[in-house]
Chains A and B, each alone.
Chain A
């Protein structure tokens, strides 16, 4: 069938049978330039989505592909059906918990990401956060809630805090910068 939308060039072998039948192995090329191989696990023509899993031996990346965007398709073979829908079941509670957990972790990570800061700034922040409690404040790094490191995050951009804290932050900043230069990010 010809899905509406983007044109799909279907290079399908003749002996294939139903397109995107379960168990078919395809090498797929996408409109984005992505290429991969996979075994068809599921296919639904209405939304025109194909779920595929890579061939055994490759990394386990399960994909859901919008077939509308497949630019190239070559049939590679057929294996047995990888998914037995009859015996499939999902633990929704577990999934929910998993998602909640992932969201929590992502939020925690987001805290550590600076908004509108350069990657260099972010790497400095990350390096500092290994040993000091740091948080973002706009584009300043706030260390121990006292010492502020302003852009461009050099040693002379350290303000505030007690003398001891200030010096400590300066020192750590210097060392981290040196380390970053040596080893890259």
Chain B
């Protein structure tokens, strides 16, 4: 082999000595002057590689450089080009092609001395005498001096990384299961398929199937009824041409009772058919051309709804959407108006007409709810609210735009509260609904329930909030509430301590907002909270509330659990939550009054009072403190943002 350094070559010449060379040898290939017919991969770079070296190139007239470490690279031999003349080109080509096909394949090499090696075909010296190089070759059958050993005693040797076999020793190279076809594609494709990425079909495929068999068109034999060739070409026009029922009947005597009209609406194809058709088409076009905000509808219609293409499939199709998953900022404005109108309607419009813009994207259907929590609410419209929330738990309140919601100038806290609620699960509304029904007359609570986060604990808070809100509004609705709620609400208007009066709210947000500003946004007409000693006490279930991360415990009672004191008429039954300035708050309800109504009608009223008392010097509380958790969103990322 002219490629190797002479000394090395002489060693290899030694028939009884097959040395393993630890260095990857790249056989330098010389352009063999292929005919045009032999189409190799064009543009093959003449790079030195240790695997699958491009030892065949077409069209180039320079040799591949050999960067083997210990082997002197042999410069391109232009002279040898002439050797591959057209005379022998054909046969050489064939052989070269065959050899190329073997690259990467596990081959068995028989040597003159009877040894059989198995390895991965790496390269062959096509120019000269077809010495070959195997990778990871291992001796299968030792034909050496020791003769044939019993297999069981055969001590294994590690496979040789690179194994050079000079042509003199080479008797034959057998490549098993190698499909030699004119199409070199099959080689690569097969290998890819059986690559590390095993598809199910390749795993379960039977090994006996022909992977590359030649397909022939099916020629029917005589029995097949004629005239079927074009049956499926145009199903509408030719539908009349093939009546399966008739054929069935004629062939098998099967009478069919199929009546198409059972399954579909009969079209009135009358005189004015064309007119109606056109009208229908027009309407269809209008509908389909409508602007839609829904991602899925838009996708069906082919609109690119979201310019941000970084929304992956999971968030598009399978993830549970937070309320403002997609950028529908455009809806914010609409929502606000909606909310305002809805709020007005619900709350009788007595609230201030300050429009509360949602701080963040309101999301679907919750914007209105959020604003609905504004102080000025009308109890009578609660039902509407209920329906709204029910219907539009997930959808924009587009249909309800007729409702007149005002967004009373609620504090920022409320909007923030609303925001938090907005992020809540739509299912929340459903769970709240049941609660609503059970709590008659507590319309606000229903709303609050809707507004709160998912989970019972959440809407307890909300109910609480609602009560507060309603109290502020001083609406007749507040009458329906126990007086406590009203008093509670009024406490909101108080500075400082009032912050604590909104336990259901995101404490940080509510407190911050309340304390910072907007007493003005509170309803000045709100009725002052008066404790109703006759109010029924709240007996929640004994089950501990699910822990929800308290945003900022500091806003809650940081003190140790206060002693339980009995208030006249108030049942002692509330467990105080272990209040620790941690992130978790356990709500413990020793008793439960209404199985469905989770909110403690009495506890909350005490709440602000107690809070105030606490703030004012820890006066003994008349009651256990009920600390409802914030809207139940343990994992809601948006909550954290606010905190």
Residues of A that sit less than 8 Å from B by CB: 5, 22, 30-34, 41-49, 51, 53, 59-66, 69, 83-104, 106-107, 110, 113-120, 122, 185
Contact = CB atoms under 8 A, between A and B. Distances in A.
B152 A44 contact: no
A17 B95 CA distance: 20
A99 B129 contact: no
Contacts of B189: 94
A92 B155 contact: no
B97 A88 contact: yes
Contacts of A88: 37-39, 93, 97, 182, 184
B187 A99 contact: no
Given A115-B158, A117-B156, A83 B94 contact: yes
Contacts of B92: 44, 46
A80 B280 CA distance: 65
Top 7 A-B pairs ranked by shortest CB distance?
A: A94-B188, A42-B94, A96-B52, A99-B104, A98-B191, A98-B104, A106-B136
Contact of B171 (A30, A46, A86, A116): A30
Contacts of B176: 59-61
A91 to B, nearest CB: 4
A92 B136 contact: no
B156 A114 contact: yes
Contacts of A97: 52, 104, 188, 191-192, 195
A131 B182 CA distance: 44
Contacts of A42: 91, 93-95, 97-98
B187 A91 contact: yes
Chain B interface residue bracket vs A: 35 or more
A101 B128 contact: no
Given A83-B180, A90-B56, A97-B188, A32 B91 contact: no
Contact of A31 (B99, B112, B175): B112
Contacts of A61: 174-178
Given A62-B180, A86-B37, A47 B174 contact: no
B187 A100 contact: no
Contacts of B154: 119
Given A91-B188, A118-B155, 15 more contacts: A31-B112, A32-B112, A42-B91, A42-B98, A62-B102, A63-B172, A85-B35, A88-B184, A90-B184, A91-B41, A95-B191, A97-B104, A98-B52, A99-B103, A122-B156
B179 interface: yes
A69 B112 contact: yes
Interface in B132-183: 135-136, 143, 151-159, 167-168, 170-180, 182-183
Given A62-B180, A89-B184, A119-B152, A100 B171 contact: no
Nearest to B173: A64
B44 interface: yes
13 contacts: A62-B174, A64-B175, A92-B40, A94-B184, A94-B187, A94-B188, A97-B104, A98-B103, A101-B196, A102-B135, A113-B159, A114-B156, A119-B156
B52 A92 contact: yes
Contact of A63 (B49, B93, B173, B183): B173
Contacts of A118: 152-153, 155
Contact of A101 (B39, B54, B104, B180): B104
B157 A115 contact: yes
Contacts of A95: 52, 100-101, 103-104, 187-188, 191
Q: Which of B156, B157, B167 has the most chain A CB atoms closer than 10 A to its own CB? A: B156
